[in-house]
Chains A and B, each alone.
Chain A
Amino acid sequence: MKKFFKVLKVIVTVLLFSYSLCFILLMFVMPKEERFSFAGNMQGMHLSQTMFNFLTWQHPDYAAAYFEQSVALNKRGKYAEGFRLLDKAVELDPKAHLGYRGYMKLRFLRDYDNALADFNRLDQLTPNFVDAPWGEDIDFLRGEAYFGKADFRNAISAFSRSLENLGEDWADVQTFVYLGLSEYELGKYEKAIAEFHRALEQAGATPEAHLGLAKAYQQRDNFKKAEEHVLKAEENLNYKRDDAYKEFLNEIYLQDILEVKEELSRL
């Protein structure tokens, strides 16, 4: 019986040490790619941040780890910490991370000049290649940045380049919408109407294009067409462009439609 308990104690001790050893393997010993993947899947947890801290301590040149660690911080508004990590990733591997940093500055910070600086630098680093930061055409994003700066002429140039890059059939339908909005802001209502119609040729239910048309036709005193399109905007509002992270610069809401309807009803 005494021997049995001794053997049992040895087994339990070995099991308990093995259990603790698993944590050490997970945090310090497993291949860095596997730990990166594990930490990435736990995004936002303290465990994820701790694992990235260990990874970058062991591998100070691991650009992707700095980038991935920054994501949760920036999403939750901790920009000083998030961008310190993202800047490090860019410093180590600018081609891989400049585009994302530009995208973050554009969409999360509305820091248009610095977003453009990142996109332009990325473009210079990749000659004869059309970059797609975070999956979107670089010229579309540059167009958005110029639009945010209210530099509508440069916005039109950038969005037009995006159409050349992707081809009209494959371009984001919002490219035409932004072109229409930029022309509208410059007071070129006929051109705006033409661009909004190009959007509808690609996707007839685009509510942003219908609302843009309603406003442009209103400016041209074509109230019948304006009313027709504002109703279509309302009818198709479910198809509007939105994103769980941030509001787009050209995002529309029911209130925008109701305001135009009210203006039209007063005429």
Chain B
Amino acid sequence: MLSKINLLLLISLLLAIVATGWFYHQMNNRVGDISFNKELDDPDFSLCSNEYVLQEYNSYGVDYNGGERAIKKQILEELQHENIHFDRSGLITFRFVVNCKGETGLFRAKSVNDDLEETAFDPEKIEKLQAAIAKLDQWEPGEGEDEKLNSYAQVHFKIENGKITDIF
């Protein structure tokens, strides 16, 4: 049978372990982090070096040669040519990782309607948009002091009256 003091010591120790574990988890996970999902992701895509991924707005982060306008120029015409029609208006946001070699993977799409509420567009059409982004090959990876780095990137598709009207 534990004495009172031993019981209190045990409880305080367990509490401290739980608090430390919870705090560690809270400090080491970031909003929007994307981890590999074998159901969704290409097994050939890999992160480089320490697997840290810079945020898309980090000034050392990834760029696309020619900027968002070049992305739009490269894929809008092709997508319009395919005559993809959506059943609603809104904004489709792809967030993904560009690794240190300029390769893309870990794509995740989120969509909102005109009232900025979460909505779901046809998954087949989302796949077509993702395939178009995956073809982009002019990424300039993020760069640290002496090495290229992994970065998050975003591409938005603005849908108005069922059609893609802007990509940025």
Name A's B-contacting residues (CB within 8 A): 6, 9-10, 12-13, 16-17, 19-20, 23, 42, 44-47, 49-50, 72-73, 75-80, 83-84, 87, 109-111, 244-247, 251, 253-255
Q: Which of A10, A42, A75 contacts B57 (CB 8 A)?
A: A75
Cβ-Cβ contact count across A and B, 8 Å cutoff: 111
Expressed in whole angstroms, the minimum distance between the Cβ of B8 and any Cβ of chain A is 5
Expressed in whole angstroms, the minimum distance between the Cβ of A140 and any Cβ of chain B is 20
Contact status A19-B19, CB under 8 Å: yes
Once bound together, how far apart are the Cα atoms of A45 and B70, in whole Å? 32
Contact status A17-B12, CB under 8 Å: yes
Contact status B25-A46, CB under 8 Å: yes
- Complex interface: chain A residues within 8 A of B32 (CB): 72-73, 76-78
Is B132 engaged at the interface, CB distance under 8 Å to the other chain?
Answer: no
Contact status B152-A247, CB under 8 Å: no
| Chain B residue nearest in CB terms to A105 | B116
Is B110 engaged at the interface, CB distance under 8 Å to the other chain?
Answer: yes
28 chain-A/chain-B pairs, Cβ below 8 angstroms: A6-B5, A10-B5, A12-B9, A13-B8, A16-B13, A16-B16, A20-B15, A20-B16, A23-B19, A44-B55, A45-B30, A46-B25, A46-B27, A49-B31, A73-B32, A75-B55, A76-B32, A76-B55, A78-B31, A79-B116, A80-B117, A83-B116, A109-B91, A109-B156, A244-B57, A245-B57, A247-B67, A254-B66
In chain B, positions 121-168 with a C-beta closer than 8 Å to chain A are 152, 154, 156, 158, 166, 168
Once bound together, how far apart are the Cα atoms of A9 and B13, in whole Å? 11
- Complex interface: chain A residues within 8 A of B29 (CB): 45-46
- Complex interface: chain B residues within 8 A of A50 (CB): 26
- Complex interface: chain A residues within 8 A of B117 (CB): 80
Expressed in whole angstroms, the minimum distance between the Cβ of A147 and any Cβ of chain B is 14
Question: Would you give the 0/1 interface string for B68-91, flagging 1 where the beta carbon is closer than 8 Å to chain A?
Answer: 111000000000000000000001
Contact status A246-B59, CB under 8 Å: no
- Complex interface: chain B residues within 8 A of A253 (CB): 66-67, 69-70
Once bound together, how far apart are the Cα atoms of A79 and B114, in whole Å? 11
The answer to whether residues A77 and B110 also contact, given A13-B12, A45-B30, A46-B25 and a CB cut-off of 8 A, is yes
Pick from B15, B26, B70, B95 the residue with the most CB of A within 10 Å. B26
Once bound together, how far apart are the Cα atoms of A202 and B23, in whole Å? 52
- Complex interface: chain B residues within 8 A of A16 (CB): 9, 12-13, 15-16
Q: Which of B15, B22, B91, B95 contacts A17 (CB 8 A)?
A: B15
Name B's A-contacting residues (CB within 8 A): 5-6, 8-9, 12-13, 15-16, 19, 22-23, 25-27, 29-32, 55-59, 61, 66-70, 91, 93, 95, 110, 112, 116-118, 152, 154, 156, 158, 166, 168
Contact status B19-A20, CB under 8 Å: yes
- Complex interface: chain A residues within 8 A of B27 (CB): 42, 45-47
Once bound together, how far apart are the Cα atoms of A87 and B112, in whole Å? 15
- Complex interface: chain A residues within 8 A of B158 (CB): 110
Contact status A79-B91, CB under 8 Å: yes
